[in-house]
Amino acid sequence: MNSLRIYNTLARDKQNFVPLRDGKVCMYVCGMTVYDYCHIGHARVMVVFDIVQRWLRTLGYKVTYVRNITDIDDKIIRRAVENGEPISALTQRFITAMHEDADALGVARPDIEPRATDFIPQMLGMIDALHANGYAYHAKDGDVHYAVRKFANYGQLSDKSIEDLRAGERVAANDAKEDPLDFVLWKKAKAGEPEDSGWNSKWGRGRPGWHIECSAMGCTLLGERFDIHGGGMDLQFPHHENEIAQSEGVTGQQFVNYWMHNGFVQIDSEKMSKSLGNFFTIREVLEKFDAEVVRFFIARAHYRSPLNYSDVHIDDARNALTRLYTALKDVEPDHQPLDWNEPNAQRFQSAMNDDFNTSVAVSVLFDLASDVNRTRDPALAGQLKELAGLLGLLGRDPRAFLQQAGDKGAEAGMTPQEIEAKIAERVATKQAKNYAEADRIRAALLEAGIALEDKPGGSTEWRRV
């Protein structure tokens, strides 16, 4: 079953996955900086790597999944000062909100969810080692920087030379640096900053740079070399490039075997950006759309492809997910274990083993749904439910899903009680042989987004469309 291939950003190719330790996988994913609510881009990272860890476990691996929390950085400090509250109060509030969002999306909690502030000694230890190894220097402004030119392989992950990077510099000029590309390891505390934003060190009171946080947490929790490191494509440079330089500058060995990066989220074909005003938080989206529909919307695209978010695309995802639930509405799954020898399951497995190709895997679910609709076979219904479950889908009662409002704002238009009352009125008119009125009620309900299905025996079921 295990012929997994992963697209490794470092190699720029798909590679056979061979873990460092037989039967075990260590995976680190860059998590959220908790000064605000998570946005739809964060939702993609959460769902993508939730599916990755689910599939690794399906393959029989014992997985240690670490997704960190950045709970100290400049944005956090600024927001806490603006709000007039302790940093810990700010970050805990948004950690709680992040967990609520992840839970709604069906994202399992990582095995370990470290907070950066709990690893300050490890960060200082790495900075000390980098200084001893000649990679770090204490600048005249009090900050400690990493000397990028000292690391021979800098640029390997982003496939750029130092000269390429200098030509397209994304860092502000700083006269204290030996080179504009050098990045901060330790920031000297500034006058007026809150007391809870700094720690004492041999370099003076200050706080860690963002990049060293993930190096320290990854190496401490998973070892100096581990299997998979993931995150959004925007982190490839400079964050992950800098992680490699830091970690390998300390250990002298390869930091990570496989680098995975999910694609950007676009809003109406334009890159999501606060400055453009096309920025949506997860909870804003979930106020309007069902959480499983949002998860399905993310899951049905290959993780490396761009994901174009719009209300139209979410509506399309809702209609597609409705088709899958409809297949299970009248066919009770047989509740048998998944049969991996069944042809659809084999195709699903091949798709997931091909760099977690959920796009193809979801197409298999639709083929199965068509077979269920045609054959009414409980065994095929069971296959559909079990395979979808590996992606975190189709876990609810089909009728409950089909009777909820697609756009939550539509719920106020017609309640289930009102719908049932109209159905009862239609039954009465049919009994009175007033078929024209019965047809009028049916048409009016359809106009309101309610489809009726008359069942054998005289009962009527309804669903939202």
C-alpha triplet 396, 357, 23: angle, nearest 5°: 90
Residue 26 labelled as part of a binding site: no
Residue 274 labelled as part of a binding site: yes
Residue 214 labelled as part of a binding site: yes
Q: What letter represents residue 156's amino acid?
A: Q
Residue 145 labelled as part of a binding site: no
Quick one: how far is CA 398 from the chain centroid?
A: 25
Distance separating alpha carbons of residues 125 and 139, to the nearest angstrom: 18
Cβ neighbourhood burial of 172 (10 Å; 0-12, 13-18, 19+): exposed
Give the contacts of 138 (CB within 8 A, at least 6 positions apart).
131, 144, 203
Distance separating alpha carbons of residues 389 and 400, to the nearest angstrom: 17
Residue 99 labelled as part of a binding site: no
Question: Three-state DSSP class for 156?
Answer: coil
For 424, the enclosing helix (H) or strand (E) is helix 416-431
DSSP string, 47-96: HHHHHHHHHHHHTT-EEEEEE-BB--SHHHHHHHHHHTS-HHHHHHHHHH
Quote the tokens at residue 404.
């909820």
Quote the tokens at residue 99.
């967990």
Cβ neighbourhood burial of 276 (10 Å; 0-12, 13-18, 19+): exposed
User: Which residues are known binding-site members for Zn(2+)?
Assistant: 30, 214, 239, 243
User: Which residues are known binding-site members for ATP?
Assistant: 274
User: Which residues are known binding-site members?
Assistant: 30, 214, 239, 243, 274
